[in-house]
Amino acid sequence: MAVIKTEDNQFTSDLAHPKVVVKYYADWCGSCKLFAPKYKRLSDDERFKDVVFLDINAEQSPDARKLAGVSTLPFFATFKDGQLQEALSTAKEDVLVQMLEKL
């Protein structure tokens, strides 16, 4: 599945899916840029075919940022049926995989 870019005005409707992971990033964030290909690869991973992968610019989407309590970037949050499940800042792929497996 493709990574879907989103923003505040459509974020709530994007969370309507049963399982969602969100990557919060900023254009200036080097670690965010380095993680982008890993995030894309995970979105194509058969294990996570039922998860919607969202990408949102944390600086341009303050409501979405506040919902997950974003503190540093890159930041990831998982949602199940629209409810926040887990949220943390990491640049480690294995940590994100563990989050996805809990969904």
**Average pLDDT of the segment spanning 46-70:** 95
Residue 12: CATH number of its domain: 3.40.30.10
Check: CB of residue 91 under 8 Å from CB of residue 84.
Answer: no
| From 20, 29, 52, 100, the catalytic residue | 29
Q: Which residue matches tokens 């919607």?
A: 52
Beta strands 52-57 and 19-25 are: parallel
Phi/psi region, residue 71 (left: phi>0; alpha: psi -120 to 50; beta: rest), is alpha
94: containing domain: 3-102
Task: Report pLDDT for 14.
Answer: 94
Q: For this structure, is 69 an active site residue? A: no
Asked if the model's pLDDT at residue 24 lies above 90, the reply is: yes
In total, how many domains does the chain have? 1
Task: Report pLDDT for 84.
Answer: 96
**Average pLDDT of the segment spanning 67-81:** 95
| From 20, 32, 42, 56, the catalytic residue | 32
Q: Cα–Cα distance between 65 and 6 in angstroms, integer?
A: 12
Task: Give the residue from 46, 52, 59, 61 showing the smallest Cα distance to 21.
Answer: 52
Asked if the model's pLDDT at residue 1 lies above 90, the reply is: no
Check: CB of residue 14 under 8 Å from CB of residue 52.
Answer: yes
Q: Which residue matches tokens 């409810």?
A: 83
Q: For this structure, is 29 an active site residue? A: yes
